[in-house]
Structure 1
Amino acid sequence: MKKDLILSSETAIVGNSETIDIDNAIDEFVATKRSKNTRRAYSRDIADLFESINVKTLNELGQIPFFELVSQIQDFLENATDYDDETRRPINPKTVNRKAYSLSSFFKYLMHAYNYPKNPLDQYQAHKFDRRSTTPSLTRSEVIDVLNHMSKGRKKSQTAFRDYLAFCCLSVLALRRNELVWLKWSDIDQGASSVNVFQKGGSYKLLPLPKSLLDQLNLYKDEYHHISEYVFSPVRNNATKRLNKPLNSSYVYTLVKRVVAKVANGKNATPHSFRKSFIEMALNNQEDFISIINATGHSTVEMVKYYDTRDSLKNNAVHGMAKLI
């Protein structure tokens, strides 16, 4: 255990004479998380709380009576909640719930590392919301139209060929955009026709690499003498001339939004739309949940269900039972 924080008779949490900065405690906590994006989000959410209540050290935190700290955290989360003017229902429940979860996790860490007595968010009631993804989907025909559009221009330049392959990987391999840009040639096993993808959370998932896609990747590498260790890297860099680095994920985001809007009649889509569409098309193809999980890297069936926003009336087992009558 690190330096103890104990509960006094006045219900304030007091510490020892050593001063420990909140920022240092936050850094220690987020270092336990694997994902860079998770570390960034946790740091921001936790730091925002302590900035709002003007607490800079664990000693200062320890001087706040517990009931008062609970109230301050409730006010912080309330101020972060946006409400619909007519219904007064929260319009950003996921964001607020995420902040509450980040704070609760941090106080659990303080309980473990600094003997902090209680978690002020133990009784927090999370906002209820529709537990299905709001990411826009693409139909099968829209995905095909996008791939055909990108394929027609792939011979014009290295950039056009690279971007075509990016859409192929998003569509066929259901990659997240960060998984896409960090993909290396060394991750590809030519003999086994597979690719080992470093995914969210710091683990790897092994995916089959269809021959049609593998052939196009090899053609791209050979035709443009691609020497970067990353499959998707800048074609030119006027600032530093450095090309052996992953493509910026924001470029992929902007590219997808622009191309899909052009091809699919103004539809608003993101790289994640292809991942969600992959799941829905796989379900339409009657793929089982385990096969889908093996492709997406999700840890639970519930996450697959979360991305399944197909019509629940149209996609319903009741239709098959009609033959009984």
Structure 2
Amino acid sequence: MLLKFALSEFKSDRMYRNVSDRTLTAYMGLMNEFHQYCVENEIINVEDCTASFVKQYLLQCKEKGNNPTTVNSKLHILKIFFNYFETEMEVFTPKTNPTKRIIFAKEDVKIEVFTDAQIKQMLRFYQSIKYRDKSLYAYRDYFLIIWLLGSACRLGETVSLKWSDVDLVNQVITVNGKKRVASSIPMSDRLKREFIEYRIFVEKYFPTMPETVFTDRNGKPLTDNALKMVFKHLKVIMNFKNVRLSCHTFRHTAAHSMIMAGCDIGTIQKLLRHSNISMTLKYFSLWGTALAEQNEKFNPLNNMDI
């Protein structure tokens, strides 16, 4: 089968499976890149892709500056693609599937977090603009930081958040996470106050209340890229040297703060909506001081006369 037809077939199948637009974009972006690499190497049929060729492509990605996490993400999508043509289309067998035996690269476990000083610096920057200009961007981006720290939400959960998902009376927020799984998370008193203030501003700013919480100046929902640009702009202004300014760093920071305050692993897993506790355990293995303190405080041996 020609690769270009294979890509079209794969896209149709993913659309049939009703994957999210964000997921479909990620899949096809990588597969189009891989297709281009195949054409440059005179590979036009999907059957001609071998394990050696796929490894060669991944190695080139690494040489171009992709870190192990990015390379693994690309391999993950390639595995989904070739597994489809093995199990559904029977183009490959388990022995001929080129990605079957390719293992993921070992990743350096490093989770960056903001310091309290850095968080205050970002908030003060937006506060000064709020009081001076009273612009939508200043209010929105100030509240955005409060929201990310107070909810530990992902980028996708943030851009898709609707006002109808926010229950200020019962202090509960419904977020649509990975694989479109809706979850309810509690809203702290501080986050509720910030929500109320921001909503009042939005109601006065727009003639008609926007559907989503985070919008552009025309009231349209922020895209993934638009939200990334917010932090790209802030990065230039803040000039932090030791931490990446991104949506996910706020999520890591929220987890770090909870662990250092003594929160238990089960609660953190629920608040972060980790489907697998292994990711939560990574946080605890990195920031084990709080875990050690809790162990010292609650260890059963403390109360035994032995």
TM superposition score category, shorter chain reference: 0.7 to 0.9
Structure 1 segments (4+ residues) deviating >6 Å: none
**Deviations, residues 175-203 of structure 1 (Å, cap 9, x unaligned):** 22332232111111132111111223211
Contact 2:173 2:185 in 1 (8 A): yes
The one-letter code sitting in structure 1 at the alignment partner of 2:249 is S
**Deviations, residues 153-211 of structure 1 (Å, cap 9, x unaligned):** 43441412222211110111112233223211111113211111122321112111223
Task: For residue 121 of structure 1, report the CA deviation from its aligned partner.
Answer: 1.8
Q: Considering fraction of residues, name the structure with more helix.
A: 2
Contact 2:4 2:35 in 1 (8 A): no
The one-letter code sitting in structure 2 at the alignment partner of 1:78 is L
Contact 1:138 1:274 in 2 (8 A): yes
**Deviations, residues 189-235 of structure 1 (Å, cap 9, x unaligned):** 13211111122321112111223322332233334434111222123
2 CA distance for matches of 1:50 and 1:149? 44
1:213–1:127 distance in 2 versus 1, CA, 3 Å: closer
1:52–1:133 distance in 2 versus 1, CA, 3 Å: same
**Which residue of structure 2 lines up, in the alignment, with residue 39 of structure 1?**
24
2 CA distance for matches of 1:19 and 1:161? 48
1 CA distance for matches of 2:50 and 2:157? 40
User: SS of the counterpart of 1:196?
Assistant: strand
Does residue 22 (structure 1) correspond to residue 6 (structure 2)? The answer is yes
**Which residue of structure 1 lines up, in the alignment, with residue 281 of structure 2?**
305
2:90 to 115, 139, 146: 115
Contact 1:30 1:42 in 2 (8 A): no
Q: What is the number of equivalent residue pairs in this alignment?
A: 285
2:271 to 283, 295, 317: 295
1:94 to 66, 69, 86: 69
Task: For residue 264 of structure 1, report the CA deviation from its aligned partner.
Answer: 7.5
Task: For residue 284 of structure 1, report the CA deviation from its aligned partner.
Answer: 0.2
2 CA distance for matches of 1:110 and 1:273? 36
**Deviations, residues 42-80 of structure 1 (Å, cap 9, x unaligned):** 223333334433455xxx434x4xxx7233223222322
**Which residue of structure 2 lines up, in the alignment, with residue 157 of structure 1?**
134
Contact 1:260 1:266 in 2 (8 A): no
- Structure 1 residue runs of 5 or longer lacking an equivalent are 1-14, 84-89, 236-242
The one-letter code sitting in structure 2 at the alignment partner of 1:45 is L
1:154–1:212 distance in 2 versus 1, CA, 3 Å: farther
The one-letter code sitting in structure 1 at the alignment partner of 2:38 is I
Does residue 52 (structure 1) correspond to residue 27 (structure 2)? The answer is no
Task: For residue 295 of structure 1, report the CA deviation from its aligned partner.
Answer: 1.7
**Which residue of structure 2 lines up, in the alignment, with residue 11 of structure 1?**
none
2 CA distance for matches of 1:157 and 1:311? 39
2 CA distance for matches of 1:305 and 1:96? 23
Where does 1:122-133 land on structure 2 (aligned, <5 Å)?
122-130=100-108, 132-133=109-110
TM-score between the two structures when normalised by the length of structure 2? 0.77
Task: For residue 265 of structure 1, report the CA deviation from its aligned partner.
Answer: 5.7
Task: For residue 269 of structure 1, report the CA deviation from its aligned partner.
Answer: 1.7
**Which residue of structure 1 lines up, in the alignment, with residue 57 of structure 2?**
76
**Deviations, residues 262-281 of structure 1 (Å, cap 9, x unaligned):** 55865542222111100111
2 CA distance for matches of 1:123 and 1:301? 26
**Deviations, residues 98-136 of structure 1 (Å, cap 9, x unaligned):** 222222221211122212323222221332222x245x3
Task: For residue 147 of structure 1, report the CA deviation from its aligned partner.
Answer: 3.0
RMSD: 3.4
**Which residue of structure 1 lines up, in the alignment, with residue 258 of structure 2?**
282
1 CA distance for matches of 2:66 and 2:174? 38
Does residue 273 (structure 1) correspond to residue 255 (structure 2)? The answer is no
1:198 to 160, 176, 180: 176
Contact 2:3 2:35 in 1 (8 A): no
Over the matched positions of the two proteins, sequence identity in percent amounts to 21
Deviates most, 208-217 or 284-293: 208-217
- Structure 2 residue runs of 5 or longer lacking an equivalent are none
Contact 1:188 1:195 in 2 (8 A): yes
Does residue 255 (structure 1) correspond to residue 230 (structure 2)? The answer is yes
1:33–1:218 distance in 2 versus 1, CA, 3 Å: same
**Deviations, residues 127-150 of structure 1 (Å, cap 9, x unaligned):** 2222x245x310234324433443
1:234 to 192, 197, 216: 216
1:305–1:228 distance in 2 versus 1, CA, 3 Å: same
Contact 1:182 1:230 in 2 (8 A): yes
Contact 2:260 2:287 in 1 (8 A): no
